[in-house]
Amino acid sequence: MSIQTHAYLANEKGQILEKSSIELPELVEDHVRIKVTHCGLCHSDIHLMEDDLGITQYPMVPGHEVVGIVEAVGANVSHLNVGDRAGVGWISNSCGHCKQCDKDEENLCAEAEPLIVASKGGFADKVDVSGHFAYAIPEKLTSENAAPLLCAGITVYNPLKRFLTQKGMTVGVVGIGGLGHLGLQFAKKMGARVVAISHSDSKKEEALSFGADVFVNSSSAEDMAKVQGDIDLIIDTVSAKHDFLQLFDILAPNGTLCVLGITSEHINLLPVQFILTQKKVTGSAVGSPKDMAEMLEFAAEHGIETKTELMPMSSVNEAIQKLIRNEARYRIVLEN
Ligand code: NAP
Ligand code: ZN
């Protein structure tokens, strides 16, 4: 039987979210239904509300850093029980049989479904997702801390795991927001020398407290000159137009610029800029269920702590405006 629940809906581009009654379909055997207690606000929610990627289907319910209590489980779901704490991130389903799904890389499946595109997201009382993409939350993590790890955390953890091949490598984290402040913490705990790169001096003290060894203001040529040719891996989390070449320049030879932020600009590089330096430009997309379980364990074991601002779910529109003004410190979590 389908059920009625409440959710905050974006009915069209540029509109505020409206609380409405929605229908969740009858729970199928591979799915779980979660009663939402907490949901982080990620900048991707705003990109999707504004249809920046051209994939939004209105009406949509944003919210993809969901933690709550399992309310119902389908017959084929065995790793979660009613009453458990569970979470959901960006992906709510994948094809389950392609080369990527077979290799535990469901995040790269061509049919991977973003929760807030294919289904209804977590700014709601309840969500319904494939059990394969519903994660048990380790006991040591509070729900408020765990929610942002399910998108922001996994998105920075994944490239650090892939590209941080030796202890002592220098990692630059660009943009100290939701993703960035977790990137500083994960990079430090993984043994890197960490450089925080921000366009706002106001974040210096906190960036150092999150694990940065050095703080650099990207709008100061003098600051940027100090790290020229110094950085082995850049995790670029900036959510707005910015200068990619400035970042490419501060990489060491063989360095990697890993772009995570979704912006609408091109990266203009001449072949010679790669050839003579062997630098690489790549991207990274959230993570697979296997990565997610590993990341949550790592966070619990190493005391990775999201710096949250807790707000009631009913203040979601206020929270969105705050994030747009770059005033969130550092992840807003909505609470039901
Ligand atoms: P956020 O909390 O808003 O952080 C973004 C940071 O970018 C800000 O804190 C700010 O840091 C910097 N920034 C903002 N405007 C800027 C400007 N005009 N010039 C230079 N820097 C600016 O956003 P988030 O939730 O961390 O998400 C970051 C980006 O990652 C978004 O585009 C989001 O959609 C994307 N994302 C991608 C994936 C993926 O799988 N690849 C997953 C999740 C999110 P400073 O003030 O320190 O400069
Ligand atoms: Zn996200």
Nearest atom in ligand 1 to the alpha carbon of residue 330 is 2
Does the global pTM surpass 0.95? Answer: yes
**Closest ligand by atom to 116 CA:** 2
Residue 167 has pLDDT above 90, yes or no: no
7 lines ligand 1 (CB under 6 A): no
Neighbours of 95 (CB within 10 A): 13
Whether the Cβ atoms of residue 38 and residue 334 lie closer than 8 Å to each other:
yes
% of the chain exceeding 90 in pLDDT: 97
Instruction: For 102-136, write each residue's pLDDT tens digit.
Output: 999 999 999 999 999 988 999 999 999 999 999 99
287 alpha carbon, closest ligand: 1
Residue nearest to atom 44 of ligand 1 (CA): 44
**What Rg do the C-alpha atoms of the chain give, in angstroms?**
20
Q: Please classify residue 69 by burial: count the beta carbons closer than 10 Å to its beta carbon, then call 0-12 exposed, 13-18 middle and 19+ buried.
A: middle
Q: Is the peptide bond before 330 cis (omega within 30 degrees of 0)?
A: yes
Ligand 1 mean position, distance from CA 9 (Å): 23
pLDDT tens by residue, 274-305:
999 999 999 999 999 999 999 999 999 999 99
Please state, in angstroms and rounded to a whole number, the distance separating the CA atoms of residues 163 and 169: 10
pLDDT at 1 over 90: no
- The per-residue pLDDT for 97 is 97
C-alpha 154 – ligand 1 centre gap (Å): 15
- Candidate of 194, 238, 309, 323 to mutate for ligand 1, largest count of ligand atoms within 8 Å of Cβ: 238
Ligand 1 centroid, distance to 332 Cα (angstroms): 13
Q: What does the alpha-carbon distance between residue 175 and residue 219 come to, in Å, rounded to a whole number?
A: 12
Cβ(260) – ligand 1 distance below 6 Å: yes
242 Cβ inside 6 Å of ligand 1: yes
Q: Given the DSSP bridges, would you call strands 85-88 and 66-73 parallel, antiparallel or unpaired?
A: antiparallel
CA atoms of 198 and 218, how far apart (whole Å): 6
Where does the pLDDT of residue 329 fall: very low under 50, low under 70, confident under 90, or very high at 90 and above? Answer: very high
Average pLDDT value over all residues in the chain: 97
Residues 183-235: tens digit of each pLDDT: 999 999 999 999 999 998 999 999 999 999 999 999 999 999 999 999 999 99
Phi, psi (deg, nearest 5) at residue 155: -70, -35
Q: What's the confidence (pLDDT) of residue 118?
A: 85
Q: What percent of the chain has pLDDT over 70?
A: 100
Strands 3-9 and 280-283: unpaired
Mean pLDDT along residues 18-33: 96
Residues in a beta bridge with 39: 66, 334
For β-strands 170-174 and 231-236, DSSP reports them as: parallel
Which residue has a Cα nearest atom 16 of ligand 1? 240
| Cα 154 to middle of ligand 2, angstroms | 9
